[in-house]
A and B are shown apart, each in its own frame.
Chain A
Amino acid sequence: MSLLDVKNLKTSYGPVNVLAGVSFTVEPGETYALVGESGSGKTTVIRAIAGLAPAQEGSVTFEGREIRGASERELRPLRKDIAMMFQDPVGSLSPRLTIRSLITEPYRIQGMKDRDLDAEAKRLLEMVNLPAHFADRYPYQLSGGQARRVGVARALALEPKLILADEPTAGLDVSVQGELLNLMNDLRERLGLAMVIITHNLNVVRHVADRMGIMYLGRLVEEGTTEAIFKEPRHPYTRCLLSANPEPDPDARLERIALKGEPPSLLRRPKGCEFRERCPFAQEFCSQTPQWEVENGHGLRCLAPLS
């Protein structure tokens, strides 16, 4: 049984169907990355898993239990097992609370009155390599990297089995980004955490994710092991994304595949393959709707895959 099993998840806000059926699984201890452009629905997926966004159809099972549509009361005990790291590191910390209150808040919410909160705060700060006196600071006194680490500490407080991390390195400097990724890798190994990471930074995905799914207009268009996807992307959109990754080398001249135009409006989804209008490899028969097909663990939604 998978730790997390998302099946055909659909979310609409009025006429806008943000998620048009997303399915993937995450095994215990595994890191799964969701990749795609802004507006592809990545954030909605993890918010829907955590019960923070609506999902009208489909199912989300965690350790075999259905949690889609669960009430806040039903979800509360689950929040021990599923923790969330939000996108904006400073904005997700209440400005009026000290770091101690922020990272021990989960214990209070879960009614764990027997805990020594000072000791827990100390332990958590140590775990994310922050000095103990940071417990008395306020969010505005932290740098972006430090605020991220507080976010990690808070997510780890209840020793979850699954972390949902929304752009955990966005806005961080490269020297600090490495630190955070090392920390997350280390904690994952020590605590056996599973993670779903959202990012549009492909260089980051390569180093943290075991498997990855590429989203376009609220659907997965390709899925596989990170290694296989980087080595041999089969969906043209994946190929375009990978080629749009400027390298820190002035002599690296990538074979860049230009994407045509911008993502279409969700109110006017294209007929047939939804990527067709921007696809440099589109064929006549792409006006038909491609189905999701899986071969050797590599999923693909494309009628004219690249070899």
Chain B
Amino acid sequence: MTDTLLEIDRLSVDYETARGDLKALRDISFDVRKGEIVGIVGESGCGKSTLISSILRLTAPNTRFRQGEVRFKGEDLLQLPERMMRDLRGADISIVFQDPMQTHNPVLSIGQQMLDIQHRSKASKAEKRARAAQMLGAVGIPDPEARLDQFPHEFSGGMRQRIAIAMALMSEPDLLIADEPTTALDATLEVQIIERLQELQQEFDCAILFISHHLGVIAELCDRVVVMYAGAVVESGEVREIFHDPKHPYTRRLIDCDPGHIKERARVLPTIPGEVPDLANLPGGCIFRDRCDQAMPRCTSQVPPLTQLKDGHHAACWLNHKEAAE
């Protein structure tokens, strides 16, 4: 296990609210190896954002870590003093956020912002500026030297997202977290960003944790996939296993719902009827059972554990248990 970079181990996170504890993450386990791209898929409210903020420990004040560890290079980040955590953020682990229009400071030039984030470096100002220009070039911004003096509003959305990626990669992190980096972009720019991420990942040899609800992007970019539903991991495995042989009904139906699959014009598109359960008032048993078309009596009473089905493929569903079929 020497090549494991990030290990999320049985992580449970609650938000304390007036209505009681909101169980945002429950018993989350997965890992990211060095130089690998892991995708996290899930719909609104599945806990993707809580997961990211937990890894970076940038959580809201009402967050309570109930159990589990977030091990980065073997060290539990949840136990690290804040001072050390600060050294880690942006240096070893960096992040690209969803909205490229709001990531940059509007009143500072891009060059100034790229100098500022090199505050740890002992290099001279000229060297830092050269490094900034080099990074802009690496993400495909033409004429980088001159564009350093421009302000965020002078760049298009696609360019701003590429600048955000350049800034995130500047310190050559071991792990890049990309939180829906293409959601706000057009399809053509989305493809540009994905291809650029793939190239950069090779060049910088960093691992990427890629969060998205766009299955097409996940299928194209990722080596492995973690599927989340209502604060829990329901399935994880190699990208081909997940897309070609899903072992959890939620994964299967999520893929079915993607209209990209359906080539002929459909009168009625597949959906998943029902709503995500209330995280402050969770029902017993399997969290997906109310919306599941294959639910059995057992699903109401017992929570299905995340079990290994074959090498690297995990799912949390009673259907995969032999005795359940009877």
Q: Mark A246-277, 1 if CB is under 8 A from B, else 0.
A: 11111110001011011100000000000000
Q: Which label, helix, strand, loop or mixed, suits the secondary structure of the B interface?
A: helix
Cα-based distance from A176 to B218 in the complex (angstroms): 19
B261 touches A38 (CB 8 A): no
B156 touches A248 (CB 8 A): no
Cα-based distance from A207 to B253 in the complex (angstroms): 18
Q: Which of B186, B265, B268, B275 contacts A37 (CB 8 A)?
A: B186
Cα-based distance from A251 to B244 in the complex (angstroms): 9
Cα-based distance from A252 to B221 in the complex (angstroms): 12
Q: Which of B44, B188, B218, B271 contacts A244 (CB 8 A)?
A: B188
Q: Is A173 at the interface (CB under 8 A from chain B)?
A: yes
B188 touches A207 (CB 8 A): no
Q: Is A103 at the interface (CB under 8 A from chain B)?
A: no
- Residues 144-166 of B contacting A (Cβ, < 8 Å): 156-159
Q: Is A182 at the interface (CB under 8 A from chain B)?
A: yes
Q: Is A226 at the interface (CB under 8 A from chain B)?
A: yes
B191 touches A256 (CB 8 A): yes
Q: Which of A38, A176, A204, A240 contacts B271 (CB 8 A)?
A: A176
The range of chain A's interface size is 35 or more
Minimum C-beta distance from B14 to chain A (A): 21
- Residues 274-297 of B contacting A (Cβ, < 8 Å): 275
A244 touches B259 (CB 8 A): no
A246 touches B190 (CB 8 A): yes
Cα-based distance from A250 to B266 in the complex (angstroms): 23
Known: A174-B213, A207-B262. A248 touches B271 (CB 8 A): no
Q: Is A296 at the interface (CB under 8 A from chain B)?
A: no
Residues of chain A with a CB closer than 8 A to B273's CB: 179
What 10 A-B pairs come out closest when comparing CB atoms?
A: A246-B216, A178-B269, A173-B43, A248-B215, A175-B272, A178-B271, A203-B259, A244-B191, A174-B257, A248-B258
Interface residues of A (CB under 8 A from B): 37-38, 143-144, 173-179, 181-182, 185, 200-204, 206-207, 226-227, 240-241, 244-252, 256, 258-259, 261-263
25 A-B pairs with CB atoms under 8 Å apart are A143-B275, A173-B44, A174-B257, A175-B254, A176-B271, A177-B257, A177-B269, A181-B259, A182-B269, A185-B267, A204-B259, A206-B265, A207-B259, A244-B188, A246-B191, A246-B219, A248-B215, A248-B243, A248-B258, A250-B240, A251-B244, A252-B219, A258-B192, A259-B192, A261-B142
